Structure formats: structure tokens, C-alpha cells
Amino acid sequence: MTRRDMLASSAATALASALPPPAANPAPVVNCAEHVWVVRDPRFPIRRELATCPRELVEYDYSGEYLISEMKRYNHNHTVISHVCYYGRDNSYTIHCVKTWPKWFTGYGLMVGYGLYPPGDKENPSRLRRLMKDDGLIGLRISPRYDPKVVWFNDPVMYPMWKEAQDLGAVFHIFLSPHQIGQVADMAERYPGVTIVIDHMAMIDIHAPDSEGFGPLLALARFPNVYIRTTMVNLSKTKEVPYRDVWPFLRRLYDRYGARRMLYANFFEYVAIKDLVPFFTPEDREWILGRTAMKIYNIKL
């Protein structure tokens, strides 16, 4: 588990223990990004040579079974698995979870980019088709953030894969830095049939001028196929739960995108959005906590 994951998990536990037990949810609750992995199952080995984070490998399980137990604890209906960096382009365990527990899980994989297949690999479109049609995943996570000095996300060599993604109706989660937002704008306009989810609010610096990241992130709202996944622990400067220093930026995204184009991930964000953040209406909370995800991932409960 990374330091970021540990902080979010600790924050969720602290908030959950301080709040009343969760009531039955009147609307669906969908967590849009949890990692899962196993280290003791020989069917799903973690291979250092494939990992895109080889210095962060773990020695304990965070299995699909355990995640289901956490979902029951927090009264969740569904989780979208974000394939973890430990496995790299071997998406087998995410596929296993999606096929074994379809009631509980949807998933997206890793395939192209840093430590994965090169963007210009001519097999990428067919790999994406197999991943979605045969393996049952709904798209990919692409992380240009790990290539901060390389412009490849909207390079023409990626056009065939984007075209295939549009034909398939794929969802792409994008983990990027503020200076890379222009690449997303280019592709969002070029391929409007691909649903794009900006992870971690583009890792903006909340102390920087708008021109250095937050302004362009707000401007992406002009593309109806772009959605925002919230984050608080990642952007907070104080690191004090519940990360109120990030709330003004969350409010600005909400004002620009609207609740129907916002998603959340991890159990801390669920507790915070459901019970603490003051500016969402009850209907907005229903969209952010589940209805938006049900729509874009085509989840059937």
C-alpha cells in the first residue's frame, strides 16, 4: 500500500468511527477506484519486471474478497477496480475479480504508457478490443504523469487506439499533471465518443495561480465527455482530516462541471462527501456517490 493509500484508509477509519453507523442507502453507491492484489495466490504472481512501481511492491493481500467486506462495512453497492501498478500490463487479477464477482465489480486495466506497451505499438487497438470484449473490462487507466517531459498522450501514434476506444465506447481514466491538461483537451475534442475521467483533479497545486493548472482543469468542462474524480488527501497541504483546505477547489469544480459529471473514489471520500462537505444538495450527493458512475460505466445492479 502506498503512503497515499495509507493516508486515505486511515482518514476513512477515523471519520467512520466518529460518525453514526451508516444507514441503508436510498440510492446506489459506487466507489470508482480501488486497487486489489494478492501475493500468495500462484495464479496471479506479482512480477517485478512488469510492475510500473517496482520500488513499492507489497507483501500482503488486498484481495477482492477483502474489498467486498469493506464495501459491506461502508454499505456500498459496487466498486470499479483500478488495476494496480504492481501487476503492470498483466490485468489477470482485475479480470478475475470482475468475472468472479460481477455483482460487486467493474474494472479498467493498464496497457499503454510508462513501463507498459509503447504508445505507438500497432497491436494496442487489438489489445484494447480483447481487454474489453473478451476480458470484460470497461477501459484503461493512462498515466502521462509518469512521463512529465514527454508529449505522447495526444501524439498521432495514439490515434488508432483512440479510434478503437471510441468505437468500443471505452472509459479512460487519466492520471496527469496540470501542464498536461492541454493534451487531454485535444483528445477529448478529437474523439468525443471516449469517456474521459480526470483522476485526482489533475494533481493541481492548490497554492499555485489558476493559470498553472486549475484554470485549464475548469476549462475542460466545455467537453461533455470529460468527468472529474474527486480527491482531497492528495492535494491537501495541511494533511489535516477532513482536508478542508481542498474544499474550495472541490466547490469550484462542482460549480463548473455539476454533480452529474463528478465521481468519487475510496472510502474516505465517500464518508466526507456523504456527511461532511456542506455545499452538495441531497440530489447532488446521489449523483456523485453513484448515479454518475452507474451511467458512464453502464453498471446494472
pLDDT 10s digits, 144-191: 999 999 999 999 999 999 999 999 999 999 999 999 999 999 999 999
Reply yes or no on whether the pLDDT at 7 is more than 80. no
Q: Is 189 within a domain?
A: yes
Residue 246, all three cell numbers: 481542498
Average pLDDT over every residue of 213-228:
96
What residues contact 54, with CB distance under 8 A and at least 6 apart? Answer: 48
Q: Is 196 within a domain?
A: yes
Q: Is 272 within a domain?
A: yes
Q: Is 101 within a domain?
A: yes
Give pLDDT tens digits for 226-263: 999 999 999 999 999 999 999 999 999 999 999 999 99
Residue 206, all three cell numbers: 492548490
251: containing domain? 3-296
Q: Is 301 within a domain?
A: no
- At residue 244, φ and ψ (nearest 5 deg) are -65, -20
* pLDDT score for 3: 45
Which CATH number belongs to the domain containing residue 227 in this structure? 3.20.20.140
- Structurally, how many domains does the chain consist of? 1
Give pLDDT tens digits for 40-79: 999 999 999 999 999 989 999 999 999 999 999 999 999 9
Q: Is 31 within a domain?
A: yes
- At residue 262, φ and ψ (nearest 5 deg) are -125, 145
Residue 290, all three cell numbers: 453513484
Q: Is 82 within a domain?
A: yes
